[in-house]
Amino acid sequence: MRSGWSTALVIAQLTLVRLFRGRAVWVSVVIAALPIVFASAVRAQGQHSNMQVDVLVFQTLLLAVLPAMFVASSIGEDIEDRTTTYLWSRPVPRWSVLAGKLVALAPLSAALVVGSWIASVFAGTHAMPSGLSILALATGAIAVCLVSAGIASLVPKHGMPLTIAYMLFFDIPVGVMPVSLAELSVTHQLRALAQVVPEIRDAPSGGAIGLAVLGTIWLGIALWRIRRLEA
């Protein structure tokens, strides 16, 4: 019998084969290109002040959409369409199904977000963004993937729209509040780690820890739910 991680890699492969035969990847590439268009347009108009901050706002919106498109829809559809019956009737630990999807989709989400960030900052300023901001966007994307996994395993039928709604109407608004509630926001922690927004005084390490804690909580919710789900 395969080990759990070996199984996760097979599921990751299966997930990627399916993904690249669908339209989601191409749609997401188009969405990821929007901040680049925005930055280029702003630069063309000669407005250069706080370019990185403006682009980062755009990137947080991207974070609300891309991981949900990949992770929440993949997990939600499998549960809702009952294709999980093929997986769960095999000698496959439940956690490895989740791990396989995350191993396939989280790096892809992170790569798209980071690629979009680098390209849009370069398009707007003709300079490369800081390494810390790249790290922040990558870990932020992975954290939102874990949020997506948690929400999709709780509400498979509406996993993608609910994740987007959660990010747009809870995480992003709470993240800009000047109170400690902002610590619950992935996008706030991302900004703290990125050190791009001058108004945020938190240390980068605090942002990194915050992202790790929030990601772990959502991963725990997803694992707990997947373990209990019946097909």
Partner 1 sequence: MTRTAPSAGGVVVAENCSKWYGHVLGVSDVSWRLRGGIVGLLGPNGAGKSTLIKMMAGLLRPSRGSLAVFGKSPFDDVGVRRRIGYAPEHDKTWDELTALELVTFMARLAGVDDAKAQAAAKDAIAQMGMTDAMHRRVRGFSKGMRQRTKLATAIAHDPDFLLFDEPLTGVDPVARVDIVERIRKLAAAGKTVVVSSHVLYEIEALTSEIVVIYRGQLLAEGNVYEIRRLIDRHPHRIRIECDRPRTVAESLAKSDHVARIVFERAGVLIETRDPDRCYDELATAVVEHGVHVSSLSSPDNNLGAVFEYLTGERR
Residues of this chain that interact with partner 1 (CB under 8 A) are 1-2, 7, 10-11, 13-14, 17-18, 21-22, 81-83, 85-93, 230-231
Q: Cβ 109 to partner 1, closest distance in Å?
A: 20
Q: Could you count the other beta carbons within 10 Å of the beta carbon of residue 185?
A: 23
Query: Cβ of residue 79: shortest distance to partner 1, in angstroms?
Result: 11
Rounded to a whole number of angstroms, the minimum distance from the CB of residue 18 to partner 1 is 5
Contacts of 230 (CB under 8 A, 6+ apart): none
Q: H or E segment at 155?
A: none
Residue 189: DSSP 8-state: H
User: Of 22 and 173, which CB lies nearer to partner 1 in the complex structure?
Assistant: 22
How far is the CA of 101 from the CAs of 16, 98, 214, in angstroms? Answer: 9, 5, 19
Q: Return the number of the residue (99 or 137) whose C-beta is nearest partner 1.
A: 99
CB of 82 to partner 1, least distance (A): 5
The nearer residue to partner 1, 104 or 113, going by C-beta atoms, is 104
* Beta carbon nearer to partner 1, 5 or 170: 5
Residues 6 or more apart whose Cβ sits within 8 Å of residue 154: 221, 225
CA–CA dist 44, 38 (Å, integer): 10
Least Å from the CB of residue 4 to partner 1? 9
Closer of 86 and 169 to partner 1 (Cβ): 86
Nearer to partner 1 by Cβ, of 7 and 185: the residue is: 7
CA 54, distance to chain mean position in Å, is: 19
For the chain, the residue count is: 231
Q: At closest approach, how far in Å is the CB of 20 from partner 1? A: 9
Contact yes or no for 74/105 (Cβ under 8 A): yes
